[in-house]
Every structure is written in C-alpha cells, then in structure tokens.
Amino acid sequence: MRSKESLSATDGPPSDREVKIIKRREAWYERRLQYLLLAPAVLLLLGLTVYPMIYAITVSLSGRRGISLENFLRLAEDGFFLRSLLWTLAYTAVCLAIEFGLGLALALLLNTGVRGRSLFRSILLLPMMLPPIVVAVIWRLMFNQDFGVINGGLRQLGFDISSLTWQASPTLAMFSVIVVDVWQWTPFIFLILLAGLQAIPEDPYEAAQIDGASRWQIFRDITFPLLKPAVLIALLLRTMDLFRTFDQIYILTDGGPGFATETISLYIYKTAYRFRDFGYAIAMSFVMLAITTVASNIYIRVLRREQIAQ
C-alpha cells in the first residue's frame, strides 16, 4: 500500500518522518479497508431493498390530493380485501393442517422398515419437483367438468356427475384449490419431517422399550418432542408460502367463481396491474407483510425456546 512518492523520494533507508507518514497511511487504510470492502454489498442492499421500500411507502401515501392515508383507510372499508384476507387465512390453515397430518403420517411410516421405502420416497418427492404453474394447468384440465379425467372417470363408474362443477361452485372450487396444494406440497413437509426423524438417536427408544412404554407413549414423549424443531421449520416455511399463494389459484380459478377463491396476492396483483392502482396495492402489501412478520416471529420465538429447552 505504499504510494509512489515515498518509493521514489530517496534510495537510502527512509527517514523517521517518512516512516511516520507511511505508518499513518497504512493505519488509515487499515481502518477504512473494512468499509471499502463492505461498500459494494451495502450499496447493493440499499439499492435493492431500502430504496424500493422507501419508494413503496411514498407511493402508498400519495393520494389524489397530496400525502394522505386514504389508501390505508380504504383497507378498512374494502369488503373485497377483508374477504380475500379471510379466505387466505382459512386456506392457509386448512392446507397446513392436512399437509402436516399427511406429511407426518407418511414420514413415520417410511421411517420404519417398510419394504420398498426408498422407491416410495422418490415417488413421493415428484410433485414437489414440478413447477407450480405446470401442476395447476394439469389439474385444471383434470377438473374440467365436461372433458376432465376426474368427472370422466366418475361417469364411467356410473356416478351422477352433473353437480360436480369443480370450478363453478364456490365450495367445490375452494375444495379443488386445496386439493392441488395438498397434492403438491405434502411431500415438502414429509421430507423435512423424515430428515428430522432420522436425526433422532436410537438410545432413548431402547431405554423406553426396556421400561415397557407403549407406542403412543414413545411417540408422545420421545419422538414428537425431539421432532419439534423440524416440525416448526416445516410449518414456518409452508405458512409463509401458503399465505402468499398466487400462481396455482391464478391458473385454476383466477379467484372465481365470483370472488370465492381470491387470495390476497391475487387481489393485490389485479389491483396493481389490471386496475393500475399501485398505491392501494402497496398498502395491501404492507398489511400482508405485517401479518407474515408477526406469524414468522411467533414461529421463530417458539423455535428458539425449544432450542434453549434442549
């Protein structure tokens, strides 16, 4: 880090003054080098997150008559927003419950010495590997009431399918979007739980068997507590994903029939891109962000408590 002048100044050994200058310079670089090295990353971060965030806040606060809270006040009286919020929460809860139940059952089953378990494991992971758009398009074709394979199959079996209008009846439409998510993402929970199960050591089980514990006792007192961190991580990731579901429902029903399956993400998307109301779309996104932050904080706090307890 020596500069040119100090090198060319003299040929002999450097004087005290020169040594002092060089040292001071080196110290200067030393002190600032860390900032210099960090600068690109910090600038990038500022440019990609902080700037858009501030910009988003200004857009959401700019009303027709200058700065106002009108976009946020509108949230409270917008029936569509509240309905999409309720539906998104219900959808998240139901999907999460089913996926967790099935995922846990499958993980417990395939963690034992069942024959052909490695084959089952690979097959089970397939849905997760497919892009959600592809999954949604295929399911939409399958759910088609006149030409789809589901109604076609049921008709062959002699069922009356005239009321099975998967995309036209609100209840059936809700059911069908839940089925698709469960089909695709149960494997994800299964995978995490299976990894968690395999990480549990053998000795507590041996001890429990010697003590004559029942299978339920073993599950309740050993397996589940030791599996809890994996459970929490699986639930956390799925909750976040479910809460912002967009692609599957966009393809399957586009929020229909009526407004029955419109998630918040879909409503935000339509507000921003179809109605060109960015201010309101961002205001809704902030509410979504707040809910996600609160939910993930709860999970993380529970998770941390678990780790401390262990």
Partner 1 sequence: MHKLWLILFVGSILTACGGAGGRSSPDQLTIAINSGVEGDGLKTAKADYEREFSISITIAEFPYTNLFEKEFIDLKEGTGAYDIIMLDDPWFPRFAEEDLLAEFEPLYQKRGLSGPDDDFVTASLALCYHPYGDGKLYALPYVGNSQMFFYREDLFHKHNLPPPETWDDVLSSARLLQEKEGIFGYVMRGAQGNPIVADYMPLFWAFGGEMFDSQGNPQVNSPEGVEALRFMIELGKYSPPGYVSFNADEVGAHLSQGTAAMGINWPAWISTFDDPTKSKVVGKIGYLPIPSQKARGASSIGNWLLAIPKSARNQEKAFDFILWATSKEQMKLSALRGNPPTRVSVFKDPELLARFKAYPVQLVALESSKPRPRTPLWNEIENVFGIYLSQANSKQLSPEEALGRANDEIKRIIERNRRAP
* Contact set with partner 1 (CB under 8 A): 64-65, 74, 80, 145-147, 162-163, 165-170, 173, 253-260, 270, 273-277
| Residue 159 Cβ vs partner 1, minimum distance, rounded to whole Å | 14
60 or 253, CB closer to partner 1?
A: 253
Residue 158 makes CB contacts below 8 A (sequence gap 6+) with none
74 or 117, CB closer to partner 1?
A: 74
230, with CB counted inside 10 A (0-12, 13-18, 19+), is buried
For 196, the 3-state DSSP assignment is helix
| Residue 187 Cβ vs partner 1, minimum distance, rounded to whole Å | 29
3 or 209, CB closer to partner 1?
A: 3
228 or 270, CB closer to partner 1?
A: 270
Torsion of CA 19, 23, 24, 28, to 10 degrees: 150
Contact (CB, 8 A) for 262 and 255: yes
Dig out the tokens for 64 from the structure. Answer: 């027709």
Return the closest-CA partner of residue 186 out of 98, 108, 92.
98
| Residue 157 Cβ vs partner 1, minimum distance, rounded to whole Å | 19
| Residue 62 Cβ vs partner 1, minimum distance, rounded to whole Å | 12
Side chain identity at 163, as an amino acid letter? S
Q: How many CB atoms are closer than 10 A to CB 158?
A: 7
253-273: b (≥16 Cβ within 10 Å) or e: bebeeeebbbbbbbbbebbbe
Helix (H) or strand (E) holding 67: strand 66-67
247 or 277, CB closer to partner 1?
A: 277
Contact (CB, 8 A) for 60 and 71: yes
DSSP 116: T
Dig out the tokens for 173 from the structure. Answer: 């439409």
| Residue 270 Cβ vs partner 1, minimum distance, rounded to whole Å | 7
223 or 261, CB closer to partner 1?
A: 261
143 or 243, CB closer to partner 1?
A: 143
47 or 131, CB closer to partner 1?
A: 47
| Residue 215 Cβ vs partner 1, minimum distance, rounded to whole Å | 47
| Residue 150 Cβ vs partner 1, minimum distance, rounded to whole Å | 13
Helix (H) or strand (E) holding 293: helix 278-309
| Residue 267 Cβ vs partner 1, minimum distance, rounded to whole Å | 10
